[in-house]
Amino acid sequence: MKENKIVKLDMPKKYEYIEGESNPLYKDFHGRNKISYSQYTSFNEDYTGQYIANYILGYKEEGGIFAYFGSACGDYVNKDDQRVDEFLSMEDKLILDAIPTPKGSVFEYEIVIDLLPLFGVDVVVQGFSDRQHMSGKELEVCDFKTLNLAKKKSFYQSEKYQQLNVYSFGLEQQGYNIGDVYVIGLGRKGNTMDQSSKNVLRLSGDVERIDHPYSKDEALQTLESMANTAIEISRLNKLIKRLNK
């Protein structure tokens, strides 16, 4: 990317500010080109075709059962707007109820990062922290993940996982001092939604905190990569629009 030159984009998704719902800090971003961390990872991890189908062509595709289960657990632990999915068992809910909620916790807090002043690319990054709270003068940032702890714990400790770094950078831009940053890993078992099966998808009861200390340098590297990915997505979006005329 050239310095001092604004890269104009045409992304398939735009930031939408909704009065009374969106973070008031981002009112002026309404209508701006938008990318999320999940869009960034799906586009770059061998799912480019699926990304085009879902985000550019508008073919809605439901996520897999593990994504569904993870969302159901995330909705349940959100004390600000708790939603109880009928698939969750009593045992699942008891496991989730046992997770301590620090005083003053805020759930699903919106974070938007403007990449224009950082890299000259006209796009914003939108995300939501699962849970955050003040601990003394520092902000603790937490992500909830349902996972196979034996197989996936190392991933969430590694440089490959940058979601919390990106969110922490955006929170730092708001003036917060970033403290502990971590994933709460919720062990899962089973592989089917069939509740009559012995292999029905459930929480195992294993809950582990996986620390991932904030690195501003890694966050900036990831954000620059997201800016470059947004350029690629925009080019594809423009091409597909021309072909569909």
pLDDT digits (tens, 9 = 90+) for 124-137: 999 999 999 999 99
Whole-number pLDDT of residue 1: 46
pLDDT at position 60 is 64
> Does residue 2 register a pLDDT over 50?
no
Checking if the pLDDT of 96 tops 60, the result is yes
- Tell me, what's the pLDDT at 243? 79
Is residue 15 very low, low, confident or very high in pLDDT (cuts 50, 70, 90)? very high
Q: How many helices (H) and strands (E) does the chain have?
A: 8, 6
**Over pLDDT 70: what percentage of the chain?**
93
Q: Which residues pair with 34 in a beta bridge?
A: 124
DSSP letter at 36 equals -
Mean pLDDT, residues 113-142: 97
Tell me which H or E stretch contains 164: helix 163-173
Q: Report the pLDDT averaged over residues 48-55.
A: 71
pLDDT attached to residue 171: 98
Per-residue model confidence (pLDDT) at position 45: 80
> What's the average model confidence in pLDDT over 87-112?
97
CA distances from 146 to 5, 34, 71, 183 (A): 42, 27, 9, 10
Tell me what pLDDT residue 126 has: 98
Give residues with Cβ within 8 angstroms of 240, minimum separation 6: 52, 56, 57
User: CA of 123: how far to CAs of 22, 108, 136, 187, 197, in Å?
Assistant: 18, 22, 34, 36, 46
Q: Which residues of the chain form beta strands (DSSP E)?
A: 34-35, 106-114, 124-135, 138-147, 178-189, 202-211
Sign of CA dihedral 161, 163, 165, 166: positive
pLDDT-based confidence at residue 178 (cuts at 50, 70, 90):
very high
What predicted TM-score, i.e. pTM, was given to this entire model? Answer: 0.91
- Least Cα distance to 107 among 125, 91, 128 occurs for 128
Phi and psi at 176, nearest 5°, equal -80, 145
The torsion angle over the Cα atoms of residues 221, 137, 74 and 126, rounded to 10 degrees, is -40
The pLDDT confidence band at residue 110, using thresholds 50, 70 and 90, is very high
Kindly state the tokens that stand for 184: 């709460």
Which amino acid makes up residue 112?
A: V
* 3-state class percentages of the chain: helix first, strand second, coil last, to nearest 5: 40, 25, 35
d(CA 74, CA 71): 5
Position 46 scores a pLDDT of: 60
Mean pLDDT of the chain: 92
